[in-house]
Each structure stands twice: as structure tokens, then as C-alpha cells.
Amino acid sequence: MSYRVSAWPLLGALFLAWANPLPAEAARQVIEIRDMAFGKAPAGLKAGDTILWKNMDMFRHTATDRKGSFDLDLAPGAQGEITLRDPGVLEVICRYHPNMVLRLTIRKAD
Amino acid sequence: MLKRLIFAALLLSPSMALAQSQKPNDAQIAHIAYTAGVLDISAAKQALAKSSSAEVKAFAGEMVRDHQAVNDKALALVKKLNVTPEDNATSQALSKAAATKLAELGKLSGAAYDRAYVENEVAYHKTVNGALKDTLIPDSQNAELKSLLQTGLSLFTAHQQHAEHLAMSLAK
């Protein structure tokens, strides 16, 4: 009896691992836009992570992948989230303020 | 370059009431900063009407949107502080120079207009940046006004860079 009960958590864990292909440790990062600049690029970004972009400025900005994988239009005070799909280097710009540039380095998911 | 010097000289002329001996007060500083924004918005509206370049129009649209945003905050702040912005010699000199420039630009068209507008935007933002850094920010007393002026400086600096890049691409 005690053997049977203790086996359930293990079976449950196996089922979850099978049903959810995303790595369990995908992280959620935040990048604030403030004073006409993107905040620092978070260290250790990997495919599958999400980034929440928060526009703390009184100005409208965008967070736009130069290659086009995402383009968030952020009104003052607005925020928006994206998921990093692929490993590589992304150059993020603000379409309205071309001097705003942020480079993100994304490694493979574990 | 000569125009820029004249413009800078206008702004910093010792004959003007605010220069040297007399530091501007917060009500005057608010007026100068607000006026600088309004003048850039007028120039941008002219560009939106006259230019046929997508890049120049995008830049002008950015000027209207950003300066309107900061001026809206400035109006809210002076209301909150119960300060009435006070007209002064610097605001008047800025307005006069801008009106002359607007008339001059109005006579141009096509690529010549685009280049002249963007070149003037570089010079204008440079001048206002200098005034913010050297006079308006250090002389402002109220902390909230100072902070708003610092935001204005980040904005004008970014706009100056954008204008410089645009000027280079138009010169090609």
C-alpha cells in the first residue's frame, strides 16, 4: 500500500515532462525603457524566455526586432511581452527613436 | 555653421535681460522650455505639410509627438505648482529666430527644403541642449521642474542624434 501511494508523484512528473515540451525553467525577464533608452540586456537569455517591455517614459516608443520577429508599439506607461523563439543575436530598436538600440544575445534552451 | 553661431549668440546675448547678471526664475525657465518645444512643433508641422520624404516625415512626426508629450507634462506641472510661465527675452529671441527660419524654409521645396529643415533641426536641438545644460537645469529651483528639464535634455539629445543621422543620409 505505501509503495503504491508514493509512486503517484513520480508518474505525475513523468506525465508533465511528456505533455510540456518547453523547458521548465524558461524565465521571465523585464526590460524597462526610461529616459529615451532601453534598460540593460538581461544576462543569460535563452530561447523560450519571455521579455516584458515596460515603457516608463512619457514618450511613445517601440521595441522592434530589426529583423522583424517582433514589433511592440508602446504608448507611455504601456507594456508588452514577447517570447524569444530562437537562439542568436537580436538587435532591438525603437522605430521612433533610431538612436535607441539594444543587443540581446540568446542561447539555446537547456 | 554661421547660422548656428548667430542663433547661439542670440540666445546668449549679454544684451538680453536674462543673460549673465540675472538668472532666470522658474516661471521664466518653464516659459523658455515650453516655447522651445512649441517652436519645434511648428517647424515639424511645416515639414509634415511640405516634405515628400518618408524619413523626414517620420522624423517630423516624432518631433510633434515627443515635444507635445513633454509640454503637456510641463503644463500640468506649472498648474500643480501654481506657477504662471513668464514671458522673457530668451523666449522672445527664440520665437523671433524661429519665425525667421520658418519663413526662410517656407520658400524652399523638395530636397533643398528637406536638407535645410533637417540641418536647422540639428542646430536648433544643439542650441537648446546647450541652454538646458548650462542655464536652465542648473538655475531651476523646483526639483520637479529640474527633473522635467532633465527629461527634456534626454529627449533633445536623442532628437539631435536622429537629426544628425538623417542629415547625413540626405546629404548622400
- Which residue on chain A is closest to B59 by alpha carbon? A96
Residue B157 contacts A where some CB pair is shorter than 8 Å: yes
CA distance B129 to B125: 6
Q: Say which of A36, A60, A98 has its CB closest to residue B154.
A: A36
Grid coordinates representing A26 are 524558461
Residue B154 contacts A where some CB pair is shorter than 8 Å: yes
Residue A73 contacts B where some CB pair is shorter than 8 Å: no
- Given a cut of 80, whether residue A51 has pLDDT beyond it is yes
Q: How many angstroms separate the Cα of B14 from the Cα of each of B3, B10, B32, B100, B123?
A: 18, 9, 17, 21, 21
- Following CA atoms A44, A46, A52, A57 in sequence, which dihedral angle do they give, to the nearest 10 degrees? 50
State whether ipTM is beyond 0.90: no
Q: Say which of A35, A58, A100 has its CB closest to residue B73.
A: A58
Residue B122 contacts residue B160 (beta carbons within 8 Å):
yes
Q: Quick one: B128 exposed, middle or buried, by C-beta within 10 A (0-12, 13-18, 19+)? A: buried
- Given a cut of 60, whether residue A2 has pLDDT beyond it is no
Per-residue pLDDT tens digits for B86-119: 999 999 999 999 999 999 999 999 999 999 999 9
- Angle (CA) B151-B119-B107 rounded to 5° is 120
Residue-averaged pLDDT of chain B: 90
Per-residue pLDDT tens digits for B41-84: 999 999 999 999 999 999 999 999 999 999 999 999 999 999 99
pLDDT category at A1 given cuts 50, 70, 90 is very low
Task: Give B142's DSSP letter.
Answer: S
Residue B102 contacts residue B42 (beta carbons within 8 Å):
yes
Which residues lie across from A54 on neighbouring strands?
A32, A79
Per-residue pLDDT tens digits for B123-158: 999 999 999 999 999 999 999 999 999 999 999 999
Contact B162 A60 (CB under 8 A): no
Cα–Cα nearest to B42, from B109, B94, B5, B78: B94
Q: Which one has a higher pLDDT value, B22 or A55?
A: A55
Q: In chain A, what residues touch B69 (CB-CB under 8 Å)? A: 58-60, 76
Grid coordinates representing B148 are 522635467
**pLDDT score at A41:** 96
Per-residue pLDDT tens digits for A4-23: 555 555 555 555 555 555 55
The DSSP secondary structure of chain A, one letter per residue, reads: -HHHHHHHHHHHHHHHHHH--S-TT--EEEEEEETTEE-PPPTT-BTT-EEEEEE-SSS-EEEEETTSS-EEEE-TT-EEEEE--S-EEEEEE-SS-TT-EEEEEEBPP-
Cα–Cα nearest to A107, from A47, A52, A50: A47
pTM, full prediction: 0.81
